Amino acid sequence: GLKTRNSDYYRRYYVQQIEKKVMDANIPWKAKTFEKAEWMTLGGKLVEILLASTDLFELKSIGGSTDDIHATQKFLDIWQANTDYAILHTYKNCPTIIPPKDWSSISEGGYFGELSVFNKAVRVSRFKEGGYYEKYFKKLKSADLSKPFKALNAIQSTPWKIDKKVLKVAHEIVKMGGDRAGLPSTEPYQGLPPLHNPTEEELKAHKNKMFLQYKKESSRKGKMVRVLANLNTAERFKDYERIYFPCNMDFRGRIYPIPSFNFQGDDLNKGLIQFADAPKVTDNGTERWFLIAGAEFAGIDKVSFTDEIKWVKENEQNILDTAEDPIAMLDWWGNLDCPFEFLQFCFEYKKMIDYKSIHGSIVGWSTGVPIAFDGTCSGLQHFSAILRDPVGAEAVNLKPSEKPQDIYGRVAQVVNQVLKHDSEHGTADEWDADKNRPKYGTKTMAQLWLNFGVNRKVTKRSVMTLAYGSKEYGFKEQVFTDTVEPHLDEGVFTEDNARPCSAYMAKLIWEAVKKVVVKAVEGMEWLHKVTRMICKNENVVQWTTPMGLIIHQPYLTTKSKTYRLRFAQTQKRIYVPYTLGDVNSKKQENSIAPNFIHSMDASHLQLTVCTAKDLGINHFAMIHDSYGTTLENAGQMFKTIRECFVQLYTEHDVLKEFAEEVTHLTEKKLPDLPEKGSFNINEVLSSLYAFH
């Protein structure tokens, strides 16, 4: 029967019907169901065969007991030569050339035909353990999800097209060897020369350098694979007038495109696409939004709109020269914040200038460049609005000001004040006899950080993740990974002082940020207390968003069983996780702040899209706290974002609603809600830089 079916879809359907007939007929048979351990053991043997029979991958140990599997340069070469073939076989990760199917239920929407079975409206794979999947899925099916579905359908029905000019330039840069405009080098990094009769200290330093270079090379390979995939996907779809990106959402309501090549991708990905069928401009004043977008692609976004426009005017000749000969101007535009998005802007800017020279204004002109308005540290924006915090509201631009406030820079200023004090009056170094190494005092560490230089880049990630539950310990890992480790052995940080300096900086950032956003910390602490009370009764935390999405935190306790496997002439241990079915209280508590705030920014985005759709806007480039649309509709979107933000927190007291919804999950009285401040949320309506 299978021989007469011509596609996987019909073959699958045929087998399902045969299976159904067998089951209905009560024929005694038993299918073999593999346990997770058996699947993982099988996977391990397949990996062993792959390593033994090809030279495309290699096993590397980076210390400890874990081995990593890495692509070799030969794999990258083959990938580059055969990506057309590979892309044809990754159909699940591709855009569509017809509008996606509207979501009408949890299981119906997105792709048509055989691809429809792979995705649901809500990504619920993590719920499949512990029996919560069926309960949660049943609740979702009975909920009124008309508003989230309306937002999903509006975003995924947006028509896009490939920017052929940007694609051509990207191909040229890859042919030149990459390593420009944010693209990785196509050639592997040179290894370190071997040491001859090294001392123990020299050998230790050499190993550290090798480890850092190994990580750098591993990162290069991964980036290169993504670049080649993006370029070849764009190549495949470049001749279609319209392409679309089916979307769904995670369990918090955040909307994501399903294809890996999409409008939420990296700078190259975004630069390769633009809106199709963009409406023509009807108001000459709209030009300012186009110039502002160009400046922000270049990274000029910490100044007023007036200064952003001024920057574009001052650099007009460079912009026009870039449009005329991008490769000749590569050293200029290739070093800006978002080089490929800016390159697209340059091409479109020249078109605009040419159009104006004929028609006298931009009325009647259209461009597919998305004009996006981004929130400022959106997690803290939401906490500041929920708790009406005047200090936090000012720091994250909810209050009107003449130029955008920089909360990351503000925290850096507070940190630098402490560093200057500690560099003169801090504690002295001591010798740790047990560990046979120095124990650095705050005086030395402050001097080291002052020599390195602490700016907004050092504090940004920690401040940004504060609203998502990150605290001093999380800050320490972030500072080490983002700032200290990449600069080891460059004159300031060494293996001995790296961890102490990271911990010291994390403490300073934590103390500084608590002064800037007091209410956000109070809000998070309240959520943590309530979660601890709920979990004592073995309940998972659950709530309903203002847009009607039901949310359950899917975190249950897990344990691992250990199995031994013969692998590449050695013995390896495989750890197989399984769910006990009990609530993971720690994970529930650590996740409540980020999940709750993500559900609020998702609600704001969904409300904004639904409202904009009703106002006649049909193009959306949305990335959680970034709201993009066409140039013609930019002014309306600028206004709608603010109106919906105010509406969300005027019509809903979300912490109070959360408390009312979870009160039955604990027999104890919940702690009092955090006290609200004096911030007038209607000020957001007149704030130029709340979303800019």
Identify the three-state secondary structure at position 551.
strand
- Indicate if 55 belongs to the active site: no
Give the H or E element holding residue 273. strand 273-275
H helices within 491-579, ranges in order?
Answer: 495-516, 518-536
Locus of tokens 């919804």:
661
Integer angstrom CA distances of residue 154 from 15, 158, 447, 560, 644: 36, 7, 53, 43, 17
Rounded CA gap, 466 and 674, in Å? Answer: 18
The active-site residue out of 250, 277, 321, 374 is: 374
- Indicate if 625 belongs to the active site: yes
Rounded CA gap, 95 and 154, in Å? Answer: 16
The active-site residue out of 163, 422, 601, 625 is: 625
- CA pseudo-torsion sign 388, 390, 395, 400: positive
Both tokens of residue 367? Answer: 């461009």
Both tokens of residue 234? Answer: 């764009």
- Please report the DSSP string for 598-658 in residue order: HHHHHHHHHHHHHHHHHTT----EE-SSEEEE-TTTHHHHHHHHHHHHHHHHHH--HHHHH
Q: What does the CA dihedral 605, 607, 611, 612 come to, rounded to 10 degrees? A: 10
Rounded CA gap, 683 and 110, in Å? Answer: 38
Instruction: Report residue 189 CA to chain centroid gap.
Output: 28
Rounded CA gap, 41 and 223, in Å? Answer: 30
Instruction: Report residue 382 CA to chain centroid gap.
Output: 18
- Please report the DSSP string for 215-244 in residue order: HHHHHHHHHHHHHHHHHHHHHHHTT-S-BB
Give strand ranges (E) for 109-253: 160-162, 247-249
Q: Would you say 352 and 280 are in contact if contact means Cβ atoms under 8 Å apart? A: no
Which residues are CB-contacts of 391 (< 8 A; sequence separation ≥ 6)? 516, 517, 518, 519, 677
The active-site residue out of 120, 270, 399, 460 is: 460
- Indicate if 374 belongs to the active site: yes
Find the length of the chain: 692
Q: Any idea which residues carry the catalytic annotation?
A: 374, 460, 625
